[in-house]
Amino acid sequence: MFEHSEAFIISSISWLRLIIESIGALVIAFGILVAVIGFIRLLGSKQSDGFTRVRINFAHYLALGLEFQLGADILSTAVAPTWEQIGKLAAIAVIRTGLNYFLMREMNEAHEHPPQPAANPIHK
């Protein structure tokens, strides 16, 4: 009885991890699509701050996707982890948390100090 329950829990967690990991990948893929569309629109415009807005918008998607990926990694070690799995999780968590920290810092700086439009030269 106990073995069946444990197998069911492990299987359920594996499926949940796969779903969360897939959601993270989809969020990042959607962010790439939004960024590419935004970049293509910028090519025809003369907005000087448009590139920064596209980058910051993409950073939001990356940060959210990384959060999902980290959650999936945590789930993968939720049931009877080995020391090797814990070590891998720690390394992945440090890398993803570091990436997320720098993305969030850049987003906050962009919101606090938005780029100023370039001055138009005077034409004679």
54-67 tens-digit pLDDT: 988 998 999 899 88
Distances (CA, A) of 39 to 30, 58, 66, 93: 14, 11, 22, 31
Rounded distance between C-alpha atoms, residue 62 and residue 103, angstroms:
8
Q: Does residue 41 sit within a domain?
A: yes
What span, in angstroms and rounded, lies between the C-alpha atoms of 84 and 27?
29
Count of domains in the chain? 1
Return d(Cα 49, Cα 107) in angstroms, integer. Answer: 14
Domain contains 118 = no
Predicted TM-score (pTM) of the model is 0.74
| Residue 119 placed within a domain | no
Structural domain contains residue 38: yes
pLDDT string in tens for the chain (124-residue length): 677 888 888 888 889 999 999 999 999 999 999 999 999 988 877 776 778 889 889 989 998 998 899 889 888 887 778 888 888 888 888 888 888 888 888 888 877 776 565 544 454 4
Domain contains 17: yes
What whole-number distance in Å separates Cα of residue 114 and Cα of residue 47? 13
Does any domain span residue 121?
A: no
Domain membership of residue 89 (yes or no) is: yes
Q: Residue 37 corresponds to which tokens in the numbers above?
A: 């569309």
Q: Which domain, by its residues, includes 31?
A: 2-112
Report yes or no on 124 lying in a domain. Answer: no
